[in-house]
């Protein structure tokens, strides 16, 4: 099975809002060895001008994963998890994610390219807050191995 | 006394090529289980040797996103505020295998790659190694300093 080239340009339905929990941020911060007080201590975050603790730069993957699940669940996509390698990842922030944010993510498949027997799929997830303002764009390049 | 964590480095004193942070992280199988739970990534190749071996790997490997997540932490500490990292990108080029008893050591060196004087943004280039092997390619964090 090969990746369906018609996926290129496809925009998926926005995900249900994801509420960024303070304890989830702390749990994630600990898991990535974050030691900055602004990641875990509410007072330190407020002293630095934030409403609540700030998520580590890669936290957006937790929300982006909801959109990648949409892609994997898409009938006829030709993308199976067991054949997917994570090739590249990027996060571009307008502002940091803080506890209490409600994030909605919208996935666009910006590119599908054949590469030998494999395919490279670029999946870009735009995340906005409850006011509809952009927070972060998370982009993954997935390498989907062919069955050759 | 160390400076308060909100203190940012002085942008005007930075030089391209300057090493601004270094760190070594010891990963164990526990670290992988902790990251799986925190991130929601329960792909079994990150905690079961039999599953990893069934897809041709020598054994359990760290989540690429765990390596990416920890590699930026020395930059966060140098910048003094996680919110100053406005862009972060990597390529996943080599796996980090985590031995059940000995774990794995991952080292990070962060160096100024470029300075944008108008945006007051520093591009920090990361060299991330597992033993002698570089495991992330084109690993770059953009850090905005006031």
Closest chain B residue to the Cα of A84, Cα to Cα: B43
d(CA A2, CA A147) in angstroms, rounded, equals 8
Task: Name every chain B residue with its beta carbon within 8 A of the beta carbon of A31.
Answer: 31, 34-35, 37-39, 66, 69
Per-residue pLDDT, A2: 82
Query: Could you read off the pLDDT of B81-130 as tens digits, one per residue?
Result: 999 999 999 999 999 999 999 999 999 999 999 999 999 999 999 999 99
Q: Distance between CA atoms of B119 and B140, rounded to whole angstroms?
A: 16
**pLDDT confidence of residue B88:** 98
**Which candidate from A37, A90, A96 shows the least CB-CB separation from B83?**
A96
A36 vs B5, B88, B90: nearest CB: B5
pLDDT band at B6 (very low <50, low <70, confident <90, very high): low
Contacts of B29 in chain A (CB under 8 A): none
CA B33: distance to chain centroid? Answer: 18
pLDDT attached to residue B4: 45
The answer to whether the CB atoms of A89 and B89 lie below 8 A apart is yes
Cα distance between residue B137 and residue B135, in whole Å? 7
DSSP H helices, chain A, are 22-31, 42-47, 60-73
pLDDT of residue B61: 97
pLDDT band at B52 (very low <50, low <70, confident <90, very high): very high
> Is B49 in CB contact (< 8 Å) with chain A?
no
Q: What is the mean pLDDT of chain B?
A: 94
Nearest to A58 by CA among B85, B99, B29, B92: B85
Which alpha helices (DSSP H) does A48-133 contain, by range? 60-73
DSSP state of B65: H
The verdict on B86 touching A (C-beta cutoff 8 Å) is yes
By the CB < 8 Å criterion, does B78 face chain A? no
pLDDT of amino acid A1: 57
Cα separation of A73 and A13, whole Å?
Answer: 13
pLDDT number for residue B5? 47
Chain B nearest C-alpha distance from A119 (Å):
16
pLDDT confidence of B2, banded at 50, 70, 90?
A: very low
Q: Check residue B100 and give its pLDDT.
A: 96
Going from the N-terminus, what domains does chain A have, and what CATH number goes with each?
7-144 (3.10.129.10)
Q: How far is residue B64 from each of residues A65, A114, B45, B91, B140, measured CA to CA in Å?
A: 14, 23, 12, 9, 15
The pLDDT-based confidence of B10 (bands split at 50, 70, 90) is: very high
Domains of chain B: 16-144 (3.10.129.10)
Q: For A62, which residue in chain B has the nearest alpha carbon?
A: B39
How many CB pairs (< 8 A) connect A and B?
A: 113
Between CA B12 and CA A31 the distance in angstroms is: 34
| B73 vs A78 pLDDT, higher one | B73
pLDDT of amino acid B7: 75
Extract the runs of DSSP E, i.e. beta strands, from chain B: 19-27, 85-92, 104-116, 121-130, 133-134, 136-144
Using a CB-CB cut-off of 8 Å, the residues of chain A touching B43 are 81
Question: How far apart are the CA of A48 and the nearest CA of chain B, in angstroms?
Answer: 6
Distance from CA of A25 to the nearest CA of B (A): 9
Listed as ranges, residues in chain A with pLDDT below 70 are 1, 147-148
Q: Cα A135–A137–A141 angle (5° rounding)?
A: 165
């Amino acid at each position: 099975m090969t990746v369906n080239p018609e996926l290129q340009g496809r925009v998926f339905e926005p995900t249900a809002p994801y509420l960024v929990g303070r304890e989830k941020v702390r749990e994630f911060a600990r898991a990535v060895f974050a030691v900055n007080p602004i990641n875990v201590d509410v007072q330190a975050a407020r002293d630095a001008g934030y409403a609540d603790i700030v998520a580590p730069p890669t936290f957006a993957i937790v929300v982006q994963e909801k959109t990648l699940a949409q892609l994997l669940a898409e009938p006829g996509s030709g993308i199976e998890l067991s054949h997917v390698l994570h090739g590249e990842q990027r996060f571009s922030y307008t502002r940091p994610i803080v506890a209490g944010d409600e994030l909605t993510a919208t996935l666009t498949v910006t590119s599908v390219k054949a590469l030998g027997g494999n395919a490279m799929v670029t999946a870009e997830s735009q995340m906005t807050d409850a006011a509809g303002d952009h927070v972060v764009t998370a982009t993954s390049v997935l390498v989907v191995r062919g069955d050759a | 006394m160390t400076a308060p964590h909100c203190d940012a480095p002085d942008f005007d004193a930075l030089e391209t090529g300057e090493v601004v942070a270094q760190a070594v992280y010891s990963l164990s199988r526990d670290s992988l289980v902790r990251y799986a739970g925190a991130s929601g990534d329960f792909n079994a190749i990150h905690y079961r040797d039999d599953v990893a071996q069934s897809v041709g790997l020598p054994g359990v490997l760290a989540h690429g996103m765990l390596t990416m997540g920890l590699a930026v932490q020395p930059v966060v500490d140098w910048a003094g505020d996680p919110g100053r990292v406005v862009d972060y990108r990597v390529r996943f080029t080599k796996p980090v295998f985590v031995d059940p008893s000995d774990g794995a050591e991952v080292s990070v060196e962060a160096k100024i790659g470029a300075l944008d004087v108008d945006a007051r943004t520093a591009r920090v280039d990361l060299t991330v190694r597992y033993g002698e092997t570089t495991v992330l390619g084109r690993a770059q964090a953009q850090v905005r300093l006031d």
